[in-house]
Structure 1
């Protein structure tokens, strides 16, 4: 019953949670490495780093660069329970990912149960659920389990991040997996968390793992 308001600037939302001006300013990641999603001056099938170390994933679709206003909207969801911000971001993701190579299922990166109790919700799942619904994809929530509590990745450098998440995931016992899945997370920085989860899925027999993320640093 109340008028729409832009979640970024507070101006009239024109029938949405985002005003036309803020929508024009969205940092779409249109120019990136197709393998790891790293923002680049021009698109490329593989950046120099991917040529050197051959990532486990087949491709990465990072919809946005981690820049304004995504660097405000995603923390509002992740740390402040702003589900309206999550709904807005999920809708934008669905617009872009509708043209991506279609996986058989979407698998969100899970929180450890201790972090889930503290936060009360899983931000990746809150984005993945409406995204899967809009794209009519099966959502395998709970297929991956975080079996070890890890330090926040944001506090670590690249090498420490890889060690921090090594062995941090397991598959739910008896979980059946299709041949092609997309792993989903909210933000990708070094990619260590997603790479560890993708490695586990490949070891379990998944033929192709793609990475879908809301924003890439």
Structure 2
């Protein structure tokens, strides 16, 4: 980064100070989204070191042809780090998704996670819900991953055609029923490709499975999965 860019960022931080999305402390020029302390204490999963066999990957075994799975951190409702997700989804901060996606991708790149992956497909939102929010948080995460990796981002391969309400308060079986037949394949050119599916939070994997099963209609498709948070179900 040039000296003038550094000066510009420093000036912008004086005019419009940025704050840590977790603790609210003012960020330094070289910090993004989180301050150094909150970043250090983020409950990372470390799944990038064992992407083929971890507790998230096991959710999809026998359901979809899954290769590798990584979640950035363990997500617990109302924990300090949950503010990252609340602000991303409900407080109109799409930049949090992009920046966290970029951070997650850099961690995974060091472990060779992206080798053999052909494209990125974010889990789509129902169109009405996306209009209400103004963006799809999974697309914002995927944009950060695509920027870091150079992988193509495909947003129009599959669409969500039903929305039965939030998954938040549903149990495993209700979540599965809620997203059954919720997606429709629009582009069959993905045949024979290794797809990276990206979502914000994975709890039971029901939404990922429903979307993947529709994508499988294209034929000879395999998947890896990347998300920000793996929900703590205890």
TM-score normalised by length of structure 1: 0.84
The residue aligned with 1:22 is 38
Stretches of structure 2 that go unaligned for 5 or more consecutive residues are 1-10
Which of 46, 49, 63 matches 1:55?
63
- Are 1:182 and 1:212, in contact at CA under 8 Å, matched by a contact in 2? yes
Deviation, 1:167, is 0.6
Matches within 5 A, 1:124-203: 124-172=138-186, 174-177=187-190, 178-203=192-217
Shift of 1:9: 2.1
Q: Does 1:86 align with 2:94?
A: no
- Whether the 8 Å contact between 1:105 and 1:182 is mirrored in structure 2 is yes
In 2, the alpha carbon distance for the partners of 1:181 and 1:97 equals: 16
SS in 2 for 1:58: strand
RMSD, aligned CA: 2.4
CA distance in 2, matches of 1:77, 1:169: 23
Classify the secondary structure of the residue corresponding to 1:209: strand
Stretches of structure 1 lacking an aligned partner (at least 5 in a row): 40-45
Q: Distance in 1 between matches of 2:54 and 2:146?
A: 20
Provide the residue aligned with 1:209 in structure 2: 223
Deviation at 1:129, TM superposition (A): 1.3
2:168 aligned counterpart, secondary structure:
helix
Number of residues paired by the alignment? 207
In structure 2, the CA distance between the partners of 1:31 and 1:142, relative to structure 1 (3 Å rule), is: closer
2:89 maps to 1:75: no
1:9 aligned onto 2:30:
no
Q: Secondary structure at the match of 2:55?
A: coil
Q: What secondary structure, in the 3-state scheme, does the structure 1 residue paired with 2:72 have?
A: strand
SS at match of 2:139: helix
Distance 1:101 1:12, change over 3 A: same
Answer whether contact 1:111 1:122 (CA < 8 A) is retained: yes
Match of 1:43 in 2: none
**What's the CA shift string for 1:78-112, capped at 9, x where partnerless?**
11111342233122212222231431000000001
Change (3 A) 1:74 1:190: same
Which string of whole-angstrom CA distances, capped at 9 and with x for unpartnered residues, describes residues 123-169 of structure 1? 11111112112110010112110012222111311101111111110
Q: Which stretches of structure 1, 4 residues or more, deviate above 6 A after TM superposition?
A: none
**Conserved in 1, the CA contact under 8 Å of 2:98 and 2:143?**
no
Structure number, greater radius of gyration: 2
